[in-house]
Structure 1
Amino acid sequence: MPIKFVKLLLIEDDEDDAFLIKEYLSDIENFKSEIDWVSDPEEGKEKILNGDFDLFLIDFYLGKENGLKLMDFIKKHEILTPSILLTGRNDSKIDIDASVAGAFDYLVKGELTPDSLQRSIRYTIKQGITIKELDKKEKRYRSLFERSFDSIFLANERFEMLELNAAFFAFFGYEENELDQINLQDIFAEQEDYDFCLDQLEKYEVVKDFEVSMLTKTGELKTCLFNCIFIPDQADENCCYQGIIRDLTLWKKAELDMMVAEKLSMTGKLARTIAHEIRNPLTNLNLALDNIKEEMADENELVKVYSDIIQRSSNRIEKLMGDLLSSSKPKELQLELCSLDDIIDEIIALVRDRANLKGIKLEMDLKGDAPRLFVDREKLSIALVNILINGIEAIDHDKGKLSISMFHSKKSILLEITDNGKGICKEDLKRIFDPFYTDKSDGTGLGLTSTLNILSSHNAGIQVQSVVGGGTTFEVEFPLPEM
């Protein structure tokens, strides 16, 4: 059930901070809140024991007392109301202490916004509700372990899995009889991320909210939030690590879509501003040039030569402004029901000669059974041709290969275009859709900007993966209408 009303107890001895938190809460539209503020920790303890609250917001520094002591008080009295710890500075030790003490979240006041506070409250209350429900049925750890929606594991000192919950098996695609074959390292996509976690566990005995790419049994990449803590015991063999892995894949995709939309919006505003500021003086320049031609062109051959150079440059600038506006302007689509297989066949015919001239082999894996989509055939062809041409131009060796694959599920159609060219470094990968960004001497840097705009107009997502010296893959995902 969605959260509609939240009753909070704020224990905060700074009146200004309390005022700001109240203001942030009043800006939240998704749910209503009622806040009871106290500045004295002792009064706070009394309200904790006798009040009926959905959530405690506790300041870390409370004069002679701190929030951790209040957390211990809550734990000692077995109160299951969730808590969020607030602090004035970002300190990893406080973060770790808060987590160990039982705080559901840890927020830095200077970084607080209504959105971040809302997300934290919603997450904390939902998690608190889950724990309360489990506690009513069974207080043993086993119940929480098995019922969690997140993947939970217990591993020994060699990071061999001792126990996994059902969510772990379902998420990573392993069978329960494969438990003794799984090592923590197996699910990390990058060795450096695994090494970082080992280092943190060795130094601090905890890894908290580490965003990392993980691999399922079938090799599918998942973006996850990784948490792990060392749990000591008397017997060495029973010393183990407990970890929780949360799937962020859909959340990250939504975040990426939002960033793309914001980038296109800003690009459009920037393009219109630049075009306005440049076209006005450019018009004056062209008028002045016409007057010069009329007055002096016949008398001086050198004037004619230079005036032609100015005219060509002026035309070039005008064309660039037009291309920039066109690449960033939301596309008006002429939709028709089309097969992506047919569109790909057409664009392959358009780029085949260019690929053959460079000796590049084209490979296609099209099943021919993908559902048809309502798309603008012409504009989508332009977008995909831009990607293919970029792949062809990225190949500078005699064993060039460009492959196009298509897969579909009940929710989407995924198109992958992969080349074995020079690849793109991480820094440049973030900029390839930016206007005027290009590594080609004769390029305008607007091709991929236009591609992003066209695909966004089709509600299609695009991601790029690349390895320097190993090639680049463009993944374009077209959502299918829900049945």
Structure 2
Amino acid sequence: MKKTPSVKVLLIEDDEDDVLLAREYLAESEYYHFDVEWEPLPEKAKDKMVHGHYDIFLIDYRLGSENGLDLIKFAQDKGVITPCILLTGQGDLNVDLDATRYGAADYIVKTELNPSMLERSIRYALSQAGVIRELDEKEKKYRSLFERSIDPIYLANNDLKLMDVNDAFLKFFKYTKEEALSLTISEIFEHDEDFNYFFSSLKTAEQIRDFEVVLLNKDREKKISMLNCVFIPDQISEFCCYQGIIHDLTMRKKAERDMLVAERLSMTGKIARTIAHEVRNPLTNLTLALEQLKDEMPRNNETVKLYSDIIERNANRIEQLIGEMLNSSKPKELNLQLSNVDEILEETIGLAIDRMNLNQIRLERSFASSLPRVLLDKEKIKIAFLNIIVNAVEAMKPGKGVLRIETQMSDSRITVCIIDNGKGIPQEDIEKLFDPFFTDKQGGMGLGLTSTKNILNSHNADVEVTSKQDEGTTFIVAFKLPS
């Protein structure tokens, strides 16, 4: 014998006669066994709707000071997905429409009620509730995946205006939810040409995969990212959207760059040590031979003095270059002391001020107040800053140059910006800027910025360079504060 399904009903009704009638109709069902609990008071009914375990609510429209629609709306607001059937004493089109709008599963006029109609209405409501419950569980699961993802996720409409974003997106781009939902995706791209390629790929292929691109957060900070996006059609509701996932590559790219610089510095060190070993010995012999020769040659012979001075001067220059190569590449031994970054900058400016005055460079300072002190090797950091400042001065036209030096505190970091309005650096050269022997200066060795990078690396400091040709260059040095 087939088991009769049991259905637990909460009957919210203040008329006892109607309660008896409803119980009688439900008792006639051959398919269901109805377990009916009666509650005449709306306030107690609300508590039971939220905390009880019922399969269906039968709700009278008129309940004294409140009506059944209020209870249905209350259940919806509390996230209760148990189906509601509204019972009313007389037919009213507005009540019917309101019941549908508020989320009622059905609307029944009591004068037309009979056992068959009531059972059919409940059966339909339970069937629909099963579908809704399944959809609700899926929605919760996917919403949890959406919200808990450590990668930024977004949904955008056909015009690529953001419709929804997860918490990781807000944290990554530093927007509030309201700010983010006012954006279009084009506004987070650094370069228009990148967005145009992204947009055309979506329109032609309806997806784009593993697109490496630079995005900008609210503070216009660059974020190297891997972007995936796909078009999601919905034929039923005629609603469509684009879903995208962003993976942050900034730290990985920085680590790769730092590793590459470290490898190049290591290579430079090996070359320098080889040269020092292979060149210094014969150079020493050459210098000793020259000294011996000078002692034996006539002192008043101007020709002898001229050529011996040339040999000595160039031998000393070779020795100096070897020393510079060794110093630029070997790890720095630090004498760390709690130091004020602003004071170090002032002392560095003092070392470069004559060169600035000679080139008629205007200096602008903007130092943040009350910056915390940092553990630094003061003398070595001065060398690093001086190399950047000297490069900036040499990149500007005499009489037209403006050098701006700023300090600020943000995100537990002290940031130093050295900004010039010089000739700028080609984009393809920025990545090679700290490479050993890379230089565009006539007679330069290309080791100054290599040494600077080495010093900053030894302090666990970050350095970033941005530049536009004919507009200028900005060096951004960031010192991390202990957490």
Deviates more, 1:423-432 or 1:288-297: 288-297
Find the residue that maps to 2:418 and give its secondary structure: strand
Deviations 1:232-291 (A, max 9, x none): 343796332210012233333333333333333332222212222222332343344445
Query: Is residue 2:334 matched to residue 1:333?
Result: yes
Offset, 1:388: 0.9
Q: Who is 1:308 aligned against?
A: 309
Deviation at 1:145, TM superposition (A): 2.0
Residue in 1 that maps onto 2:421: 420
Contact 2:264 2:436 in 1 (8 A): no
Within 5 A, what are the aligned runs for 1:72-111? none
When the two chains are superposed, the root-mean-square deviation of aligned CA atoms in Å is 2.8
* CA offset digits 1:61-96 (Å, max 9, x no partner): xxxxxxxxxxxxxxxxxxxxxxxxxxxxxxxxxxxx
% identity of equivalent residues: 54
1:329–1:140 Cα change, 3 Å: closer
Larger Rg: 2
Equivalent pair of 1:410/1:480 in contact (CA under 8 Å): no
Number of positions where the alignment pairs a residue of Structure 1 with one of Structure 2: 348
**Post-superposition shift, 1:390?**
0.9
Runs of 5+ consecutive residues of structure 1 not aligned to the other structure: 1-134
Separation (CA, whole Å) in 2 of partners of 1:365 and 1:194: 35
For residues 338-353 of structure 1, the aligned pairs below 5 Å read 338-353=339-354
Task: Report what 2:248 is aligned to.
Answer: 247
Could you say if the C-alpha distance between residues 158 and 398 of structure 1 is closer, same or farther in structure 2, counting changes exceeding 3 Å?
A: farther
Per-residue deviation, 1:442 = 4.0
Contact 1:206/1:230 (<8 A) preserved? yes
| Aligned partner letter, 1:416 | C
* One-letter code aligned to 2:145: L
| 1:262 aligned onto 2:263 | yes
Structure 1's 363 and 326: CA in aligned 2 closer, same or farther, altered over 3 A?
same
Aligned to 2:441: 440
Q: 1:223 touches 1:247 (CA, 8 Å); kept in 2?
A: yes
SS across alignment from 1:238 = coil
Q: Could you say if the C-alpha distance between residues 428 and 249 of structure 1 is closer, same or farther in structure 2, counting changes exceeding 3 Å?
A: closer
Summarize deviations over 1:102-156 as a string: whole Å, max 9, x none.
xxxxxxxxxxxxxxxxxxxxxxxxxxxxxxxxx9997743332222222111222
Query: Are the structure 2 counterparts of residues 314 and 209 from structure 1 closer, same or farther at C-alpha, using a change threshold of 3 Å?
Result: same
Q: Name the CA shift for 1:447/1:180 in 2 (closer, same or farther; >3 Å).
A: closer
Q: 2:282 is aligned with what amino acid?
A: P
Instruction: Kindly report which structure 2 residues correspond to 1:67-466, keeping only aligned pairs within 5 A, or say none.
Output: 140-178=141-179, 180-234=181-235, 238-290=239-291, 292-293=293-294, 302-396=303-397, 398-409=399-410, 411-466=412-467
Partner amino acid for 1:342?
E
Task: Tell me the distance in 1 between the aligned counterparts of 2:244 and 2:164.
Answer: 11
Shift in Å at residue 201 of structure 1? 2.5
Q: How far apart, in 1, do the equivalents of 2:358 and 2:302 lie? A: 42
Task: Specify the SS of the correspondent of 1:219.
Answer: coil
How far off is 1:375 after superposition? 1.6
Distance 2:263 2:272 in 1: 14
Q: Which AA in structure 1 matches 2:328?
A: S
8 Å contact kept, 1:257–1:461: no
Q: Give 3-state SS (helix, strand or coil) of 1:143's partner.
A: helix
Summarize deviations over 1:145-178 as a string: whole Å, max 9, x none: 2222221112223212232223223322333334
TM-score normalised to the size of structure 1? 0.66
One-letter identity of the residue aligned with 1:147: R
Is the contact between residue 335 and residue 376 of structure 1 (CA under 8 Å) also seen in structure 2? yes
Normalising by structure 2, report the TM-score: 0.66
State the AA in 2 paired with 1:208.
R
Q: Distance in 2 between matches of 1:464 and 1:161?
A: 31
Q: Which runs of 5+ in 2 are unaligned?
A: 1-135
Secondary structure of 1:181's aligned partner: coil
Q: Distance in 2 between matches of 1:143 and 1:431?
A: 44
Q: Structure 2: how far apart are the matches of 1:230 and 1:348?
A: 55
The one-letter amino acid of 1:345's match is: E
Quick one: structure 1 residues 163 and 257, their matched pair in 2 at CA, closer, same or farther if it must change by over 3 Å?
same
- Give the secondary structure class of the aligned counterpart of 1:141: helix
Q: Tell me the distance in 2 between the aligned counterparts of 1:453 and 1:167.
A: 34
Q: CA contact under 8 A between 2:201 and 2:208: conserved in structure 1?
A: yes
State the partner residue of 1:89: none
- 8 Å CA contact 1:339, 1:371 repeated in 2: yes
* Shift, 1:192, TM fit: 2.0
CA contact (8 A) 1:156 1:237 kept: no
Letter in 2 for 1:232: P
Contact 2:214 2:224 (8 Å CA) reproduced: yes
Moved more, 427-436 or 380-389: 427-436
